């Protein structure tokens, strides 16, 4: 195995740890199963940190033209719009975590593969092979089995402890699932847009792109912070009401995840990325046992493992199908005496592009 190959697997391990640590940090900031702070405020602080760091890097590396490059209208308008969508995704992530624990959230997050497949089929008419649909159905069945097992075993989201009626607890869980699915859908859209326009504006340095993202990202989160302040606590007691050291850790975690994920996803191929996200599910569950003494549930763990294996299987199947299509195109062109020119993916196959596109939540 080459050093470069080992390096990619090492990056995947870092990717898994960052994803797992981010979820666990949010879980640790709960008090008796609930966020006592406004759920949008850590994202607002993260936007400020990233924006300041991006501007400082632009000022240090770009010289006198740093401000003109940061405010270049063509790229600024595009990345601002994408940043606003990313902001909504971050808030939905926090809303999801308020209704369920980290392990359940990570498992349901794997539904992005299903959302991607259905979206490509509905919008572009790009279908899946029979084997791919079977594996996607297996992912759905595995996720459903895990959620049902988690509910029946009594490992309900900790927030449900405060609900006096079981019906309210069930409704809260359904609402949390709705938040996750909305988050996943927005993340898929953002992944496609970010991949497209970060390549289109490749002449714009990465740190300037991040700063341009964060302007609308910050504005959207700031507005949503007050929109979520239904009891008026933030208006009455201030922006940082309910904050503790663990809340600051959440803001730092969002910052690290944003920068590192963007960098790592540029270095990892789609197979390692999807495998890494799937393994983060197991990592979160095991960390919750080691750090917070969560009781090990063999049935829930096996259901979770089935989800992870199904995701890995789908990823490998897509890669195999892509290679087969490339081979088919190469053979056809050779038979027609047309020189074969390798491409990153066969014409019309958007799945590889989506799988390898940068995603922040996200």
- 3-class DSSP assignment, residue 34: strand
Exposure of 331 by Cβ count < 10 A (0-12 exposed, 13-18 middle, 19+ buried)? exposed
Share of the chain above pLDDT 90, in %: 17
Q: List Cβ neighbours of 232 (8 Å cut-off, separation of 6 or more).
A: none
Tens of pLDDT, residues 264-306 = 766 666 677 778 888 888 998 888 888 877 888 888 888 889 9
- Pair of tokens at residue 289: 């046992």
Least Cα distance to 111 among 28, 49, 58, 179 occurs for: 179
Tens digit of pLDDT for each residue in 107-148? 888 888 888 888 777 766 777 888 888 988 998 888 888 887
- Tens digit of each residue's pLDDT (9 = 90 or more) over 285-294: 888 888 877 8
Q: What pLDDT does 2 receive?
A: 53
Report d(CA 191, CA 53) in Å as an integer. 23
Q: Name the maximum alpha-carbon separation found in the chain.
A: 75
Domain boundaries, the chain: 10-126+155-294
pTM more than 0.85 = no
Residues in the chain: 362
Question: Residue 105 pLDDT more than 80?
Answer: yes
Q: Which two tokens stand for residue 355?
A: 């799988």
């Amino acid at each position: 195995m080459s050093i470069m190959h080992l390096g990619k697997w090492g990056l995947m391990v870092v990717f898994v740890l960052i994803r797992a640590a981010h979820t666990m940090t949010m879980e640790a900031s709960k008090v008796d199963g609930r966020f006592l702070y406004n759920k949008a405020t850590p994202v607002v602080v993260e936007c400020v940190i990233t924006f300041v760091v991006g501007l400082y890097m632009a000022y240090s590396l770009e010289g006198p033209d740093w401000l003109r490059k940061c405010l270049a209208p063509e790229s600024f308008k595009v990345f601002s719009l994408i940043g606003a969508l990313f902001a909504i995704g971050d808030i939905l992530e926090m809303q999801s975590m308020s209704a369920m624990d980290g392990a359940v959230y990570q498992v349901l997050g794997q539904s992005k593969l299903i959302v991607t497949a259905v979206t490509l089929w509905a919008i572009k008419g790009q279908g899946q092979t029979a084997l791919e649909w079977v594996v996607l159905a297996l992912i759905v069945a595995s996720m459903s089995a895990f959620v049902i097992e988690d509910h029946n075993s009594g490992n309900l989201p900790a927030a449900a402890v405060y609900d006096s009626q079981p019906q309210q607890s069930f409704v809260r869980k359904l609402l949390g699932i709705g938040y996750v699915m909305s988050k996943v859908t927005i993340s898929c859209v953002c992944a496609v847009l970010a991949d497209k326009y970060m390549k289109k504006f490749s002449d714009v340095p990465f740190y300037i792109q991040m700063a341009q993202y964060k302007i609308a990202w910050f504005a959207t989160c700031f507005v949503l912070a007050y929109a979520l302040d239904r009891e008026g606590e933030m208006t009455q007691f201030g922006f940082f009401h309910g904050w503790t050291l663990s809340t600051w850790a959440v803001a730092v975690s969002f910052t690290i995840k944003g920068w590192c994920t963007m960098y790592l996803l540029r270095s990892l191929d789609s197979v390692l990325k999807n495998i890494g996200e799937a393994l983060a599910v197991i990592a979160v569950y095991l960390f919750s046992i080691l750090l917070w003494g969560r009781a090990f549930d063999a049935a829930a763990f096996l259901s979770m493992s089935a989800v992870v294996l199904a995701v890995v299987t789908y990823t490998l199947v897509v890669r195999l199908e892509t290679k087969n299509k490339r081979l088919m195109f190469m053979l056809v062109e050779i038979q027609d005496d047309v020189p074969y020119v390798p491409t990153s993916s066969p014409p019309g196959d958007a799945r590889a592009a989506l799988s390898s596109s940068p995603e922040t939540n996200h």
